[in-house]
Amino acid sequence: MKQEPIPAGLHPRSDTTRTGLAPAQIADAFRDNLHYLLGRFPAIASRNDNYLALAYTVRDRLLKRWIDSAQTFRERQSRTVCYLSAEFLMGPQLGNNLINLGIQDQVEEAMKSLGLKLEDMLEQEEEPGLGNGGLGRLAACYLDSLATLEVPSIGYGIRYEFGIFEQRIRNGWQIEMTDKWLQLGNPWEIPRPEIVHEVKFGGRTEGYDDNGAFRVRWIPNELVRGMAYDMPVPGYQVHTVNLLRLWKAEAAESFDFQAFNEGDYYRAVMHKMASENITKVLYPNDESLQGKRLRLQQQFFFVSCALQDMLRLYLQRSKKLDGFHEKFCVQLNDTHPAIAVAELMRLLVDEHRMSWEPAWEITRKTFGYTNHTLLPEALERWGVPLFQSVLPRHLELIYEINRRFLNEVRLRFPGDDARVARMSLIDEGGERYVRMANLACVGSHAINGVARLHSDLLKEGVLRDFHDFSPEKFQNKTNGVTPRRFMLLSNPGLAALISRSIGPGWVKNLDELKHLEKFVEDAQFRREWRAVKLENKRTLARLLQERAGFTVNPDSLFDIQVKRLHEYKRQHLNALFIITLYNRLRRNPSLKITPRTFVFGGKAAPGYYMAKLIIKLINSIAEVVNNDPVVKNQLKVAFFPNFNVKNAQHIYPAADLSEQISTAGKEASGTGNMKFAMNGALTIGTLDGANVEIREQVGTENFFLFGLTEAEVEQTKAHGYRPWEYCASNEELREVIEQIRDGFFSPDQPDRFHPLVNSLLQRDDYLLFADYASYVACQDRVAAAYEDTEQWTRMSILNVARMGYFSSDRSIREYCDEIWKVKPVTIET
């Protein structure tokens, strides 16, 4: 029978609806998704409906590349980087995916043809707050660079139902609100109900005979299922799309029918609720024993799922596990996933019946460990009773790893019992603890810090014994950030000016920014540079008006400090300087100073009282300064609430001055310092973390340095630091501290800031008073420099021109060449 032609308008959807990149094709696909996926028509579609329709349209265009990438990696049996991180602070995906796919202009035109604004949809997207700050954002930058460099990779983490809290400021105090980032759906993830792994907790172990070999069986008292959710991670101007696989906890049995039939409705679903709690919220408060248990469960849960998943993938192509470490190289992002060392041993020895020695060889060759802290208290450790109750088999394995390792230490350093005690995986001093950093060091073939100074201090301090024992393991991999998100996406005006001047190649090869140096003496270029900065400042000023409720002068010096609130980061040193400036103006109202707008942003851990008190102090200072007619428009202070990736994209481009003022020797690296400098801000900072390398790269004359060095900090403490003497001997400092102490900024409760004042006068752990005079003098130099507009512009251009080293692409190339030994794999279209 002859088939009749399909009437016009009823043709089945063509592949271009899924993959076409022309504006008309994108508009058709948008209408299609709005209709068939969301069940909406334009007249009733909400802003979120429009965002979802566009997100699915963009995701369609990612999926073809994603499938091509997966097929290519499988066919070539490519060596794969697996990045294990408890945090992935990915930021909003729509804008970043448009940039990396190279279709931002086409999508903007398509939306315009439909009477819609792309910027409205970008603003609508919820941020997945799957991290606390720098650690999680670094992981996200590294995934971007791995894909851009065409390196096969999988990021493994946790699909927290509630991310880092939403911060609101009420009466100057931080208030934590639930971050319901999933409440309106997440169009970028693909649930994988067929990819599920069982994770055990608690119970006991028992030995048994396995054909003459002694084996151990773990009999848990709790089973949890981990289900995979996949997110595509596209590279920039390449066809590689890598994978971020996040795990959600589910009950092994969701419903207890017997309990239901007995009328016990709570017990019927109790196990489901308890199991799902594991991935309910990012980093529970671990001050309580219950909080510590949940955090340990979280870490083991995602690590076990990830390793089981790697083994599943490997065994699809091979029956023997001997080459596992040749297929997968696994990076531990700090100590959170360090339990992976014991878990891989358990899987190999207990589940796959491998003997100890080859299993340990595979394990050690599989893992690399990145350390992110110089603070001993930040090196995770778990009380032995808690650890045993949650992971009894792993404690046995750690004891055995420790026994064998310490025998090697004793052979190398005979009679050095103190060294043996320090290097033990178990802290035996008083209450016994499992030391996770020690486990990571012993079970990895490579150990790296994240800035040159940090890596040196690790070798000299926190990990000195391990460096003495295995110096060949230690490397430095200075952090980097992706220029795609933090320049091209967040600062389109500057990106366009740079591309017009030196071409677009810098986006994938940041070293090309050095060609900007030839424009430093071009007066027209400097005018255009300033115009871009001014427009960015106006944008931030509008946001401050919306969210903080007052106006600021975009022509003033924007002095910005945004990062997690912590005493070692010294936001309160900045606050002391603001009060100093304020006092100078009060004493002499006719004094001419460089007008400044101070902007703070950052979240304090909910249980960190002193950090929350510092937020209150900053807001109390703002209330006084901003309402004092004496200072007029010369000083403004703003606390930008809910600092996150989305908000950061407006803040970094607007900064004139970047505050990187942590106590020397405390910040591992920092990445905000890089983002600010890439966007043309000059840095005031100490010789701490990556500041050291930034200063070397941009030139000492283009960096405002103050404060004690790390060696001087240690020397000052060793000689008996007496902060009250510094305070008594500096008239301006003494006045500031007395004002805070006497309630000048808290008239409703004069003793409100006494805990902070007492801490500074009695201990001053982070040497604010020792660095105060140097900081104030340096800020005076900043003010003088800003008055010379042309010279400041030259310095700003040079900062950007010399930031090529701090691309995450450079960092990842070093990891690939020197730790992972992995090569790019080009995806053909």
Q: Which residues are catalytic?
A: 372, 563-564, 569, 671, 675
**Rounded Cα distance, 215 and 205, in Å:** 10
**Rounded Cα distance, 265 and 598, in Å:** 55
Q: From the DSSP assignment, how many helices (H) and strands (E) are in the chain? A: 34, 22
**Rounded Cα distance, 261 and 59, in Å:** 45
How would DSSP label each residue in 629-689? TTTTTSEEEEEESS--HHHHHHHGGG-SEEEE-PPTTT-S--SHHHHHHHTT-EEEE-S-T
**By the 8 A CB rule, do 218 and 807 touch?**
no
**Rounded Cα distance, 569 and 614, in Å:** 11
**Rounded Cα distance, 102 and 97, in Å:** 8
Length reported for the chain: 829
**By the 8 A CB rule, do 660 and 704 touch?**
no
| Angle (deg, nearest 10), helices 609-626 and 571-587 | 20
Q: Give the start-end residues of each E strand in 104-184.
A: 153-158, 166-170, 173-177
**By the 8 A CB rule, do 322 and 362 touch?**
yes
| Of 567, 564, 543, nearest in space to 554 by CA | 543
Question: Torsion-angle region of residue 63: left (phi > 0), alpha (psi -120 to 50) or beta?
Answer: alpha
**Rounded Cα distance, 44 and 48, in Å:** 11
How would DSSP label each residue in 367-420? EEEE-----GGGS-EEEHHHHHHH-HHHHHHHHHHHHHHHHHHHHHSTT-HHHH
Cα–Cα distances in angstroms (integers) from residue 97 to residues 55, 56, 102, 122, in the given order:
9, 12, 8, 11
The tokens describing 616, both together, are 């209150």
Angle in degrees, CA 194, 200, 204, rounded to 5: 155
Sign, CA torsion 105/106/109/111: negative
Sign, CA torsion 776/782/785/789: negative
CA dihedral 109, 110, 116, 122 (to 10 degrees): -80
How would DSSP label each residue in 563-587? S---GGGTHHHHHHHHHHHHHHHHH
**By the 8 A CB rule, do 229 and 192 touch?**
yes
